[in-house]
Amino acid sequence: MSGEHDDALISRQVRLLESLLEEKGLVGGETVDEVVDGFLANASPVNGARAVARAWTDPAYKERLLADGAAAVGELGFAAGGVQKQRLRVAENTQTVHNVVVCTLCSCYPLRLLGPSPGWYKSEAYRSRVVRDPRGVLAEFGVTLPDEVRVTVWDSSAETRYMVLPRRPEGTDGLSEAELARLVTRNGLIGTAVL
C-alpha cells in the first residue's frame, strides 16, 4: 500500500467513526474537533528538544530519561503518549552508536515530543529501506557515519515510541539549556540528522 492510499483509508475510517458517534448522539462534531485541536496544540519538536537539552545539562535527568522516558518527559510537563498510554524509550547516540527510529507497520511516533510526523517518515520507502539499508538512507539525509559507528534501528509500535538523544556538540559548554534546545531538530530526534 502506498502512503497516500494508507492516508485515504485512514481518513475514510475516521470520518465513518465520527459519523457513527454523532449519529448515536455520543459526540458532536465540534467535540471531535476540540479534542483533535487540543491534542495537537502542544505537539512540537521543541518539546523533545527541551528534554534533550535538559539531559545534556543534568546527568541525573539524563539517567531518568534513558531509564523511563515517559516519566522523565512528564517532569517537564509533556505526556509521551496521547489518548493511549505509551512507553517512551530514548536511545542515546554515542561515539560508537547512532540510532534511528522508524515504524515499519504504520507511522507510530511520539507526536507530542516531535510534532506532526514528516511525510517521508510515513512513506513506505522510508519504512522499508531504513531497516534494510540504514546507512544508505542516512546518507540521503546527509548523514555519513564512520564505519566503526554501529547504526541501530528502533521500530516504534502502538505501545512503545522511540526518540533519539543526539550527542551534545563539542564547544557548547557555555550555552544555556534554552540555547542548547535550539540546536536540536526533529530529524535529530528521529536520528536522520546528528542534531
- What are the grid coordinates assigned to 9, written together? 483509508
Q: Which amino acid is at 52?
A: V
What is the pTM for the complete model shown?
A: 0.81
Domain check: are 179 and 110 in the same one? yes
Mean pLDDT by runs of 10 across the 195 residues of the chain is 49 70 76 64 90 98 98 89 73 98 90 91 95 98 97 94 97 97 98 97
Here the CATH number for the domain that contains residue 115 is: 3.90.330.10
Domain check: are 23 and 93 in the same one? no
Q: Please give the pLDDT value at position 2.
A: 44
Domain check: are 33 and 52 in the same one? no
The answer to whether the CB of 98 falls within 8 A of the CB of 150 is yes
The C-alpha angle 75, 155, 181, rounded to 5 degrees, equals: 40
Residue 61 domain flag: yes
**Integer Cα distance of 104 and 155 in angstroms:** 6
Q: Please give the pLDDT value at position 32.
A: 65
**Integer Cα distance of 95 and 141 in angstroms:** 19
Residue 180 domain flag: yes
Strand 160-165 and strand 150-155: the pairing is unpaired
3-state class of 24 per DSSP? coil
- What are the grid coordinates assigned to 86, written together? 505509551
For the chain, the domain total comes to 2
Residue 118 domain flag: yes
Domain check: are 158 and 146 in the same one? yes
Measuring CA to CA, which residue among 136, 132, 146, 142 is closest to residue 187? Answer: 142
| Domain, as residue range, for 96 | 44-190
Residue 53 domain flag: yes
Q: Residue 151 carries which DSSP code?
A: E
> Mind listing the pLDDT tens digit for each residue in 11-59?
566 677 777 777 887 777 677 666 666 656 678 999 999 999 999 999 9
Domain check: are 133 and 158 in the same one? yes
- What are the grid coordinates assigned to 32, written together? 471531535
Domain check: are 146 and 82 in the same one? yes
3-state class of 88 per DSSP? strand
The C-alpha angle 77, 82, 87, rounded to 5 degrees, equals: 80
Straight-line distance from the first to the last Cα atom of the chain, in angstroms, rounded to the nearest whole number: 32
Q: Please give the pLDDT value at position 5.
A: 52
Domain check: are 31 and 61 in the same one? no
The answer to whether the CB of 95 falls within 8 A of the CB of 146 is no
Domain check: are 104 and 21 in the same one? no
Q: Please give the pLDDT value at position 14.
A: 65
Q: Please give the pLDDT value at position 8.
A: 56
**Residues annotated as catalytic (active site), given as ranges:** 103, 106-108
Residue 195 domain flag: no
Residue 166 domain flag: yes
**Integer Cα distance of 106 and 95 in angstroms:** 30
